[in-house]
Amino acid sequence: MPLREQEVPRNDAGLAQGLSAPARLEALPGVAIERVAETGSTQSDLLERHAGPGAPPLHGAVLRVAGRQTQGRGRHGRRWLGESGAALTFSFARVVARADLGALSLAVGVTLAEALAARFAAGAPRLALKWPNDLVLLDAPAPAAHWRKLGGILIETSSAPGGRLVVVGVGLNVGAPPEGVAEQATGCVAEGWPGADPETVLAVLAPALAAALQAFEAQGFDAAWRARYARLDALEGVALVAGSVRGVGAGIAADGSLRLRTEDGEIVAVASGEVRVRAGSAAPTEAAA
Ligand code: BTN
């Protein structure tokens, strides 16, 4: 007999866990699904096709999934590596009829983190978000703050008839990369969701992402999104440095900026750039984040 909602076991974040997942995504209403064995970058593919000069307007949405990327791109111009078979790499594009998209990346992070956490086993490391939207496994909460990154989100936009074309790129370590391949301390989905494979994870994340874009388009980054982010915030209470600002993570502002409480008790909001854990605190530096 299926469990009623209140009987579904919950993990540390209060999220339902252990839900069964479909094995493969076969269809998603209004979304064209493309699977390729290899490409340079799913993100570049969709941007070139739908935002390039003379590109025809995109109707509906498109999901492009690659078994392997040879030129995967990360945030801040970094490259993104993903081991074939152990990683999930995809981009999802659609036009969003909304101008204020600054906090969309946080809403996407919340959506993916919650969808994965709901499949995590009891006792697994907690899934959390490092501002703005890195998916991390939290080995120790603040102030010790130790985490390992298991996935990242890259959002790029372009003007389009009826709104903005939004391309959401997601890269996730699903299985553990082979020994010696990872460039830094990493985590993977299988640590919390044993037996997870890229197709199963895609089948869970893609519908959640499609629904999140719809919700964000309708309501923006409202108080409900911010409350959900707060439950996943890995930086709350952690000693940080962001550019010239030094302070302790104090949640996020209404526009998705990161709030830091300085030594003087002042709250400073940081809208962009790199955030590092402050050297000399008990936490790892950015290299392990
Ligand atoms: C980050 O730097 O944390 C974001 C990484 C986003 C990588 C994904 S993988 C699928 C899509 N294609 C790319 O080239 N990048 C994004």
**pLDDT digits over 255-264, tens only?**
999 999 999 9
Is residue 105 lining ligand 1, measured as CB closer than 6 Å?
A: no
Cβ of 68 below 6 Å from ligand 1: no
Ligand 1 pocket residue status of 73, Cβ below 6 Å: yes
Given ligand 1 and candidates 64, 112, 170, which is best to mutate, with the most ligand atoms within 8 Å of its CB? 170
Judge whether residue 10 has pLDDT over 80.
no
- Per-residue model confidence as pLDDT tens digits over 205-254: 999 999 999 999 999 999 999 999 999 999 999 999 998 999 999 999 99
Residue 16 has pLDDT above 60, yes or no: no
Ligand 1 centroid–CA 1 distance in Å is 40
Cα 172 to ligand 1 centre (Å): 9
- From residue 156, alpha-carbon distances to 18, 19, 46, 214, 229 in Å are 33, 31, 10, 17, 21
Structure tokens at 185: 């301390």
pLDDT at residue 141, as a whole number: 83
- The atom number, within ligand 1, closest to the CA of 66 reads 10
pTM score: 0.89
Q: Convert the pLDDT of each residue in 58-106 to its tens digit.
A: 999 999 999 999 999 999 999 998 776 799 999 999 999 999 999 999 9
So what's the pLDDT on residue 20? 66
Which numbered atom of ligand 1 lies nearest the CA of 44?
14
Mean pLDDT of 137-162: 92
